[in-house]
Amino acid sequence: MPSSIRPGDVLADRYRLVDLLTESGGGRFWRAHDRILERHVALHVIAEDDERAAALMEAARRSATVHDRRLLRVLDADEADGLCFVVNEWGSGDSLDIMLAGGGPLGPRRAAWIVSEVAAAIAAGHRAGVAHGRLVPENVLIDHTGGVRLIGFAVDAAMHGLPPGRVTTDVADLGSLLYAALTGRWTGSPGSAVPPAPVEQGRVLRPRQVRAGIPRPLDALCDEIVNPYAGPTAARLRGTHDLATAQGIADYLCEFVGDPTGLAEAEAAAGHRDTTEVPVLPPVPDLLPHDAAPPEPEPEPEPEPVPERVPEPEPTQAGLPIFDDDGGVSWMTAPGTPAPPPPPFEEPPERPLFAPAPTDGAPVRTPRPGRAPDPQPEPTPRPTPAGPAGRSFWPWDTGTGAIAVADPDLEAEEVPGRSWLRLAAIIGAGVLLLLAVVVAYNVGRGRTPLGALPEDESPTPSPSSQTPIARSSNPIEVVAKSDFDPQGSPREENPEEVPLALDGDATTAWRTQTYEQNFGPQGLKTGVGLLLDLGSSQSVSAVDVTVAGGSTGVSLYLTDAVPTGVRDLTPVQSATVDAAGQIELPEPTTGRYVVVWLTSLPAVAGGFQGAVAEVTVRG
C-alpha cells in the first residue's frame, strides 16, 4: 500500500480521508467524506497487489446483493492509485463492545432484543446466500435512532484474510453475542476486545454461573449454542425450536421479548454517541522562522497624571463679611423659631390594686365555711364629707377618711385571669370523668384498669413472627427434596441448587431467580418454594428456616398427597424470617409433604431475590 496516504488525501477524486479508525495486517479502515454527495462514508483500503484484494472485491459484490435495513450497505468498490477500496454506508452510535465496557452487561430483555435484530439481519443474508463471517461485538452498532446496524457484512472477514463466511459460523457467533450481552464476556473466536468467558474442564460456564438473575430461557439458549448438546434441557430446546439457523434464533428471542414497542425509542433515549468522532482542535498559529525573535509589544502609553485639586478658600472670622442694604451676613443670620414640643403621651388607665368594692349590704370579707364570723366592734361614727347629691364616697366606715372612688352603681370589673382558671377547672373535670369511664369499661370486661389482659390470660406469641431456634424437638429426615415452582414456565427454580438448602452448611443456599417485582397480587408470581418429602406421614411441630439476604416471608403447607400448587391449600403457619428462626405450628400436624413457600423476597441489586440456606423439619 502506498505509505503516503494520510488524512486529507482524496481517493478516486471523490473520497477525502478524514480519520484512520483501525489498522490491521496492512489493511486500513477510514472515515472519509464523499465530496459529491456531501456525507460521511466508511472505507476499507488495502494495497492493490495485496493477496486479499481479489477476495475483498468479491465480498463487496456479494454484500451488495443483500438488502436489509439493518446492514450498512456497500456503496462503491474500486481500484485506483495502487489501492483497492470498498465504500460502505456510515453509521454513528455505540458498538456493543463500547456499551459493555462503559455500562457493564445489559438487561435480559434489552440483550435479547438487540441479538434478535442481529439474527434477523443475518437470516436475510443467509437467504441470499451470503454470510457475515466475522460477527464480533465491534461489528454490532446501536445508532442514534436506537436501531441495530451491522458493520462490514462479508467485507470485514475478507479484510482479515478469513475465508468466505459459513452459516454455521454466524449461528455460533449469534450465541456468543447473546452471551456477551448478558455477561460482558466473549465466547467466540479471538479478535474482540471483550474479555473472554470463563472455562471449566473444557466447557464454557453457563451465563447463570457467571451472573445471577439471567432468565432460564436465555441461559438455556446460550448454553445450547456455546456448548452444543450439553444436557437434557438442550434436547428439549432443539425439539421445540430450530436453533441451527439464524431465523430460528431470531424467532426464539422474539418470543422471549414479546412486544418490542418502545425498545428502539429507549435505546435512542440512552443517548448513544458516535464512538468514532475525533475532537476538533483550534487552528495552529503561523510559525516564525527559528532564528527570528518575536516582535516586542508596543509599550503602553503612561497614564497622564491627575492634577491635584486646589481647595477653594473658605470664609473665616478673619475675612470681612459682605454687607448689603437688603440683608445681613449669611453666617450671622438669627436662628429660626424653634419647633413646638410634641404633644404629651396619654397616661394609661389605672387598674385597681384591690378587688372591686362589694355591693350594698354585702360584707367586706366572707368567712370560711364552718367558721363563725368574727365579732366586729361598734364603729364610731365619724363625720364624712358628703359626695355629690349628698352621698358619701364609701357606704361604710373605712376608718381612713374620705377617698373618692368610682360610682358603686357601676358594674364591678372582672378580676384578670379568673376566666382562665374556670376553663382549666372545667377541662380537668372532663379528663377525670373520661378516665373514670375508661377504667369502668375495662374493669367491666374483666381486664385491668389500663385495658391489659390478666397475667393468666396473656395471649400466645403472634404466628406472624418467628421464634429463636429451639432444639428441643427431634429433626425428621427428609427423603427427597426439589424446587417447587407451579407458576413458572418452565416449572423449575434452580433445581441444581436445592441440595444446598439441606447440606448443614449455612454459608450455602438455594436461591430464587431475580424478579423485577416482588411476589404478590401485582407481581409475576405469588411465590416459589421447596418441596420436602418425609417418606411417610409424620407429625410435624416446627420447621427451622435460615434465610440469607434479608427479611423473607415464609408460609408452610403440609399435605399427604403430592401438591401441584398452593391455590387450594391452607398454610399451617406463616412467618417473616430475618435470618434464622423456628416457625412453630399452633399444634402438631400430620402429613408427608412439607412445602416451604416464599411469599416475599428481600431487595437485591436489580430486583428481588430470596435465598434459603438451611431447612430442618422437627417432630
At residue 581, the pLDDT reads 87
Spatial contact of 132 and 125, defined as CB atoms under 8 Å apart? yes
pTM of the model: 0.49
Q: What is the rounded distance in angstroms from the CA atom of residue 213 to the CA atom of residue 549? A: 15
* Residue 232 neighbours by CB distance under 10 Å: 7
Lowest mean pLDDT among 60-64, 255-259, 385-389, 484-488: 385-389
Peptide bond into 356 cis (omega under 30): no
CA angle 560, 562, 566 (to 5 degrees): 95
Q: How does residue 606 score in pLDDT terms, banded at 50, 70 and 90?
A: confident
Q: What is the rounded distance in angstroms from the CA atom of residue 246 to the CA atom of residue 172? A: 9
In sequence order, what are the beta bridge partners of 607? Answer: 604
Lowest mean pLDDT among 34-48, 62-76, 464-478, 597-611: 464-478
Higher pLDDT, 293 or 267: 267
At residue 286, the pLDDT reads 42
HEC string of 113-143? HHHHHHHHHHHHHHHCCCCCCCCCHHHEEEE
Q: Is 440 exposed, middle or buried (0-12, 13-18, 19+ CB in 10 A)?
A: exposed
Helices 167-183 + 108-127 axis angle, to 10: 170
Position 313 pLDDT exceeds 70: no
At residue 343, the pLDDT reads 67
Higher pLDDT, 55 or 375: 55
CA angle 616, 617, 619 (to 5 degrees): 135
Q: What is the rounded distance in angstroms from the CA atom of residue 90 to the CA atom of residue 74? A: 10
At residue 10, the pLDDT reads 92
Which one, of 30, 131, 36, 137, lies nearest residue 87 by Cα? 30
Average pLDDT, the chain: 79
Q: What is the rounded distance in angstroms from the CA atom of residue 613 to the CA atom of residue 546? A: 5
What does the pLDDT look like over 321-337, one tens digit per residue?
444 444 444 444 455 56
What does the pLDDT look like over 483-530, one tens digit per residue?
999 888 778 888 899 999 999 898 999 999 888 889 887 777 889 999
Q: How does residue 439 score in pLDDT terms, banded at 50, 70 and 90?
A: confident
Identity (one letter) of the amino acid at 592? Answer: R
Percent with pLDDT over 70 in the chain: 70
Position 230 pLDDT exceeds 70: no
Distances (CA, A) of 530 to 303, 492, 494, 579, 595: 93, 10, 11, 17, 6
- Label residues 243-267 b or e (16+ Cβ within 10 Å = b): bebbebbbbbbbeebeeeeebbeeb
- Residues 1-21: what's their mean pLDDT? 84
Identical fold between 9-89 and 480-618: no
Q: How does residue 149 score in pLDDT terms, banded at 50, 70 and 90?
A: very high
* Residue 239 neighbours by CB distance under 10 Å: 7
What does the pLDDT look like over 116-135, one tens digit per residue?
999 999 999 999 999 999 99
What does the pLDDT look like over 84-104, one tens digit per residue?
999 999 998 999 999 999 999
At residue 568, the pLDDT reads 82
Lowest mean pLDDT among 64-78, 221-235, 245-259: 221-235
Domain 9-89 has CATH 3.40.50.10320: no
The string of DSSP codes covering 509-577 is: -EE---BSS-SSTTSS-S-EEEEEEEEEEEEEEEEEEEEESS-EEEEEEEESSPPS-STT---SEEEEE
The string of DSSP codes covering 470-504 is: ---SPEE---EEEEE-TTSSSS-S-GGGGGGGGSS
- Residues 12-28: what's their mean pLDDT? 89
Distances (CA, A) of 42 to 49, 144, 274: 21, 17, 13
* Residue 412 neighbours by CB distance under 10 Å: 13
Position 591 pLDDT exceeds 90: yes
Residues listed for the chain? 619
At residue 384, the pLDDT reads 46
Q: What is the rounded distance in angstroms from the CA atom of residue 101 to the CA atom of residue 302? A: 61
Q: What is the rounded distance in angstroms from the CA atom of residue 227 to the CA atom of residue 542? A: 44
At residue 57, the pLDDT reads 94
Domain 480-618 has CATH 2.60.120.260: yes
- Look at the domain 94-270 and name its fold: Transferase(Phosphotransferase); domain 1 (1.10.510)
At residue 114, the pLDDT reads 97
- Residues 525-546: what's their mean pLDDT? 92
At residue 206, the pLDDT reads 93
Q: How does residue 164 score in pLDDT terms, banded at 50, 70 and 90?
A: confident
What does the pLDDT look like over 547-578, one tens digit per residue?
998 999 999 999 999 998 888 888 999 999 99
Higher pLDDT, 216 or 446: 216
Q: How does residue 419 score in pLDDT terms, banded at 50, 70 and 90?
A: confident
| Matching residue, cell 491627575 | 306
Spatial contact of 581 and 573, defined as CB atoms under 8 Å apart? no
Domain boundaries along the sequence of the chain: 9-89, 94-270, 480-618
- Tell me the three cell numbers of residue 274: 458516535
Q: Which long-range contacts (CB under 8 A, 24 or more apart) does 206-212 make?
A: 207/179, 207/182, 207/183, 210/183, 210/185, 211/105, 211/182, 211/183, 211/184, 212/511, 212/514, 212/609
At residue 40, the pLDDT reads 95
- Residues 198-203: what's their mean pLDDT? 89
DSSP state of 409: T
Q: Which residues, 6 or more positions from 283, have their beta carbon under 8 angstroms from its beta carbon?
A: none
